[in-house]
Amino acid sequence: MMATSIPEGAPSPRLCLVIKNNPSQEYGYNLHAERGKPQFIGTVDAGSPADYAGLKPGDRIFAVNGHSIIGENHKQVVRRIRENPLQCELLVISEDGEEWYKQHNIPITLSLPNIERDKKRDSFSQGSQKSSEEDPHNASPTPDAHWYAPK
């Protein structure tokens, strides 16, 4: 097995947690597949859970809900995304980032040391909380929260 050490300056894959408010809400992105390429994000709807999670059009997907999807077909990937009706976690990287890893012969996996969690979600969760002693189960939005509301 190849070591997970990588050269300095390597692009960072992102782990994006996409959370819906209810099961009937859409994630707000299109999943695309092309022969010989990883599954990728086509479009991302502005203000959607996918947008909020940090997904970008063209992102290549390498894992869904903690499972590598390398070698899986479109139907299998869709099944993984639908495992939980309220959320899915995607390991993604830009097309340029994917190319960098190909050129350096480094597989994009969940064991890479430079994976970034979405900064928007992290800053929201740290947001305007006054102290860490607040009830962590309180799901009330902060005053500056932005929620997706279908029109």
Q: How far apart are CA 81 and CA 71, in angstroms?
A: 16
Strand partners, 16: 90
CB 119 within 8 A of CB 52: no
Q: Residue 22: how many CB atoms within 10 A of its CB?
A: 7
Q: Beta strands of the chain (E only): which ranges?
A: 14-19, 29-32, 40-44, 60-64, 67-68, 87-93, 116-117
CB 15 within 8 A of CB 93: no
Tell me if the pTM is above 0.85: no
Q: Digits of tens for pLDDT over the chain (151 positions)?
A: 444 678 888 999 999 999 999 999 999 999 998 887 889 999 999 999 999 999 999 999 999 999 999 999 999 999 999 999 999 999 999 999 999 999 999 999 999 999 998 655 544 443 333 333 333 343 444 444 344 433 3
14-120 has CATH 3.20.20.220 classification: no
What local confidence, expressed as pLDDT, does residue 105 receive?
A: 95
Q: Residue 99: how many CB atoms within 10 A of its CB?
A: 13
Taking the domains of the chain in order of start, what are their residue ranges? 14-120
What local confidence, expressed as pLDDT, does residue 38 receive?
A: 84
